[in-house]
């Protein structure tokens, strides 16, 4: 329970703490790693990297899934085949109503009462993302996430040439924004966040055609390229926080195995939310096997990058996923 509470606090914005309780077995592994000769460790790392297959299996699966999900809206609308109607904010899939959790919450706060029709559609989505892990929505469905991922690559290239600096912001800001948007909905009776949500703007633009709101999305991307990488997703978007809370008890997770890890850091370099991988830093893992916390987007970049297979997708209680 303490471990779960710690992961929730990290999701809300607290920085990972050093020196927490470590199991006896993990202490033995950490001690063994400290005693390992540095030259031997370096050689083992080189062998692991040489033998690792440099693939983008999970990234490619994710991009295909994200593009397919969003294009299905487009095809359904333009050819009037009524498979997936609406947009990501609210839709209907072959008759089943699907309502974005954060959007439903904003609407009910604005109206100041529980709307039965919203509850039905929200329940379906809630169960779906509860099973898959809430923030899976961010990396596997959200169209802005994909654009921000590409913008991040450009940002890192510019940062490597010293043309821009890689800035960090306090992660508590996302929780503050969540509270502000919720309060604005209550006070104004209007879903303020939905008017500026890049997720909703892009989804509607893809389906119904572009509008002036795309200039706001472009401004966000420019800000992320030249100032703060992935600023919206990491420090502002309330959708990620809402779905992170839903995924706290998800059976699908990324699992870390301490014993096979060489702590080379490749996973943290590619991670979209690197604070969730604090446990892979040498000497930090509280146990020999650790489930990555609910703020993980299950994007699979760390799984692809790990040369020793120390990070894997797993359904709790079952074997790892392929």
The yes-or-no verdict on residue 165 having pLDDT over 60 is: yes
Share of the chain above pLDDT 70, in %: 93
pLDDT in tens, 266-283: 899 899 899 999 999 988
Is residue 72 within 8 Å of 85, Cβ to Cβ?
no
Query: Could you count the other beta carbons within 10 Å of the beta carbon of residue 155?
Result: 23
Q: What's the confidence (pLDDT) of residue 47?
A: 56
Instruction: Write out the DSSP string of 200-215.
Output: HHHHHHHHH---TTHH
- pLDDT tens for each residue of 68-84: 999 999 999 999 888 88
The pLDDT score that the predictor gives to residue 308 is 87
> What's the pLDDT score for residue 213?
95
Residue 303 has pLDDT above 60, yes or no: yes
CB 125, CB 100: distance < 8 Å: yes
Write down the residue that tokens 């303490």 correspond to: 2
Residue 276 near residue 295, CB atoms below 8 Å: yes
Asked whether 88 and 199 are in contact (CB, 8 A), the reply is: yes
How is the chain split into domains, by residue range? 21-51+251-315, 59-245
Give CA–CA dist 322/312, Å, rounded.
Answer: 9
Give the lowest-confidence range in 8-17, 26-35, 82-91, 183-192: 26-35
pLDDT, mean of residues 192-220: 95
CATH of domain 21-51+251-315: 3.30.70
pLDDT tens string 116-151: 777 888 998 999 999 998 899 999 999 999 999 999
pLDDT of 88 reads 93
H/E stretch holding 255? strand 252-257
Spatial distance between the Cα atoms of 106 and 115, rounded to a whole number of angstroms: 11
Q: Which residues of 182-203 are buried (b: 16+ CB within 10 A; e: fewer)?
A: bebbeeeeebbbbeebbbbbbb
Residue 297 sits at φ, ψ, to 5 deg, of -90, 0
């Amino acid at each position: 329970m303490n471990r779960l509470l710690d992961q929730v606090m990290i999701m809300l914005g607290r920085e990972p703490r050093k020196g927490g309780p470590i199991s006896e077995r993990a202490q033995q592994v950490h001690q063994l790693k400290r005693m390992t000769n540095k030259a031997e460790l370096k050689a083992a790392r080189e062998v692991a990297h040489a033998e690792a297959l440099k693939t983008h299996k999970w990234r490619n699966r994710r991009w295909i899934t994200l593009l397919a999900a969003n294009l299905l809206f487009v095809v359904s609308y333009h050819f009037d085949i009524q498979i997936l109607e609406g947009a990501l904010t609210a839709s209907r899939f072959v008759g089943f109503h699907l309502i974005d959790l954060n959007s439903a919450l904003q609407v009910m706060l604005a109206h100041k009462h529980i709307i039965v029709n919203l509850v039905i559609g929200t329940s379906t989505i809630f169960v779906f993302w509860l099973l898959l892990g809430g923030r899976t929505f961010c990396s596997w469905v959200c169209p802005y996430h994909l654009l921000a991922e590409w913008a991040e690559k450009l940002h890192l290239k510019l940062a490597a040439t010293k043309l821009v600096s890689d800035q960090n912001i306090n992660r508590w800001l996302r929780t503050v924004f969540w509270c502000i948007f919720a309060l604005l909905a209550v006070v104004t009776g209007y879903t303020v966040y939905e008017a500026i949500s890049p997720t909703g703007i892009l989804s509607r633009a893809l389906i119904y055609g572009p509008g002036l709101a795309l200039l706001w999305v472009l401004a966000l991307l420019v800000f992320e390229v030249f100032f703060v990488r992935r600023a919206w997703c990491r420090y502002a978007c309330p959708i990620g926080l809402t779905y992170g809370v839903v995924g706290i008890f998800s059976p699908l997770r990324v699992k870390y195995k301490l014993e096979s890890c060489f702590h080379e850091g490749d996973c943290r370099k590619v991670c979209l939310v690197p604070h969730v991988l604090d446990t892979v830093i040498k000497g930090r893992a509280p146990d020999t096997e650790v489930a990555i916390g609910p703020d993980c987007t299950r994007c699979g970049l760390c799984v692809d990058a790990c040369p020793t297979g120390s990070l894997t997708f797993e359904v709790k209680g079952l074997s790892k996923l392929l």
